[in-house]
Amino acid sequence: MPPLLSIIVPVYNEARLIEPTLRRVLASPLEKEVIVVDDASTDGTAGVLARLAQELPIRVLTHPANRGKGAAVRTGFQAATGMILLIQDADLEYDPADYPALIEPIRRGEADAVMGSRFLRERPRFFTPRGDPFFSHYIGNKIIIWLTNLLYGFHATDYEGCYKAFSREVVDSTPVLADGFEFDNELVCKLLRRHRRIVEVPIRYTPRDYREGKKIRWPHGVKMVWTILKWRVKPF
């Protein structure tokens, strides 16, 4: 029997946080497989994963060259055997305790995809304790939310949270070309165009700053906006 849940962990240069992240993921009592995709890390992540693969029930795949988060997720999706596929970032911003809420609508047959919303649980945080501003991230998120809802006739509160879960069927039937952070936007926009059932659930979120390894920046946001615009009209 295939596992209920496949957890896909794309990772790039997270040597410090990948082990505690994976141990938290594995602590979840759900029936699951964990697939880690190393996107050609250069900071020692590969060595950490090689050790962990001997100690923990994880499967590690490796890209020979850096291709982007979306490419890593796609590699993980292709290798997954679970009935539900879930994306987990390789840091400690998100809490695996939210897994049951993310997969339950799919298990009950009420949704084809579930998006975790950081903004349903608590008010946005604009500044970390050390003063790194995230107001620009919030504004970028608001633009993406407004634009996606306007163009696709939806009413989501957050499209950029890491946690998203999908049924095996929608992943297999929806081709996604993006290799970068805009992968999620392309997949969700295509599902919206096909009128697939998408719901939101609140999730926990503890943001880190750029000094701690945060990678997403404003050029990625530009690609996300272009992706949202493009897939509203482009055939697929």
pLDDT value, residue 98: 97
DSSP letter assigned to residue 126: -
Sign of CA dihedral 226, 230, 232, 236: negative
The identity of residue 93, as a single letter, is E
pTM of the model: 0.90
Q: Which residues fall within 8 angstroms of residue 90, CB to CB, at 6 or more apart?
A: 9, 10, 11, 12, 14, 17, 18, 21, 36
Q: Which residues fall within 8 angstroms of residue 202, CB to CB, at 6 or more apart?
A: 101, 116, 117, 120, 121
pLDDT value, residue 213: 47
Q: In sequence order, what DSSP letters do the residues of 40-69 get, joined into one string?
A: --SSSHHHHHHHHHHHSS-EEEE-SS---H
Q: Which residues fall within 8 angstroms of residue 193, CB to CB, at 6 or more apart?
A: 152, 231, 232
CATH tag, 5-233: 3.90.550.10
For the chain, give every domain's residue range.
5-233
Q: Percentage of the chain with pLDDT > 90?
A: 80
Please give the C-alpha separations between residue 144 and each of 2, 18, 46, in angstroms, as whole numbers.
36, 29, 34
- Report, as ranges of residue numbers, the positions in the chain whose pLDDT lies below 70: 122-136, 208-218
C-alpha to C-alpha distance for 163 and 104, rounded to whole angstroms: 14
pLDDT, tens digit, 9 for 90 and up, residues 26-84:
999 999 999 999 999 999 999 999 999 999 999 999 999 999 999 999 999 999 999 99
pLDDT value, residue 131: 45
pLDDT value, residue 221: 84
3-state secondary structure at position 167: strand
C-alpha to C-alpha distance for 124 and 130, rounded to whole angstroms: 16
pLDDT value, residue 2: 78
pLDDT value, residue 139: 82
